[in-house]
Amino acid sequence: MERSETITRANMTNVGDFIFLGFSDQSDFQGFLFGIFLVIYMSIIIGNGLIILMTKFDPGLRTPMYFFLGNFSFLEICYTSVTLPRMLKDFWTQNKHISLLSCAVQMCFFLILGVTECLLLAVMSYDRYVAICKPLYYPLIMNHKTCVQLVVGAWISGMPIQIGQVCQVFSLPFCDSNRLDHVFCDIPPLLKLACGDTSLNEILVYADAFLFGMVPFLLILNSYIRIITTIMKLPSTMGRSKAFSTCSSHLTVVGLFFMSASISYFQPKSSQSTGAGKVLSLFYTIVTPMFNPVIYSLRNKDVIMAMRKLWP
């Protein structure tokens, strides 16, 4: 028994760190990639930061919808900051090693914030449902206390399960290779390096993705089916147009995020492409947060007016 435990511990310590392969096949373009990702990161911080400032200080944007939008923008900055600074450092130094502890911490924050994004998108869709389908009760239902409780719930609901997921993954022995063919620490590429039986872990990944990904998406879908049904009953064409315009930006963000993330996590292991997985992961972790401020600003007159106040 003792000998078996010693062997297991030895296997687990064979890998002391991981090496991100990332875009190492594009060795001649590392400087170019650093510049591109730096511009993307700065645009994410500036764009989402402006939305936070506007929703915080503009009196016209002190409504539940913009309260949620400000929290969502803050979340996007946190979400990208888990992965992008590390990627920029790897591009700049060409040192792509990451310790097991750093990898576990990165993955833990990445999963927690990813779950928060799914839940917060569901909360935002519920807000639009109440505003359009129950406008007379909107101030009563979506009072400040309820809004704060919904946001706090979105932030903390997934923490225990995601921490447990990380502990499960890093309890596996990594003894075959430390070359992680990805751009950050995520569960699917790490499971490929584990030399033990990962079937239970894969089931847990699917269950987690269903609980915190598919269920919020179905709730969003249900909200928008009811919203669209209500909008179609409006007598005024102008009223329908205004209602659609307030929902279209949120629907666009939901579609971009959930489609790329669901393909990445629900794709069967046998048909997974490493290259496609990396591109998809960049899409829902970097590209979507970069376009969110633009998407929410283009068809939103209140946000455009608030921007004009910042730059008179």
Q: Which residue has the tokens 């909360």?
A: 123
Q: Which is nearest to 297 in space by CA: 308, 285, 286, 282?
A: 308
CATH of the domain at 134: 1.20.1070.10
Separation of alpha carbons 268 and 264, rounded Å? 9
Is residue 291 within 8 A of residue 48, CB to CB? The reply is no
Whether 65 contacts 250, CB under 8 Å: no
What is residue 254's predicted lDDT score, i.e. its pLDDT? 82
Query: What is the model's pLDDT at position 11?
Result: 43
Domain count, the chain: 1
Domain of 168? 2-310
- For helices 100-133 and 144-156, give the axis angle rounded to 10 degrees: 150
H or E segment to which residue 124 belongs: helix 100-133
Q: Which residues of the chain have pLDDT under 70?
A: 1-15, 24-28, 176, 236-246, 264-277, 298-300, 307-312
Are the C-beta atoms of residues 293 and 195 closer than 8 Å to each other? no
- Beta carbons of 86 and 111 less than 8 angstroms apart: no
SS3 at position 303: helix
Residue 269 amino acid letter: K
Cα gap 80→284, rounded to integer Å:
10
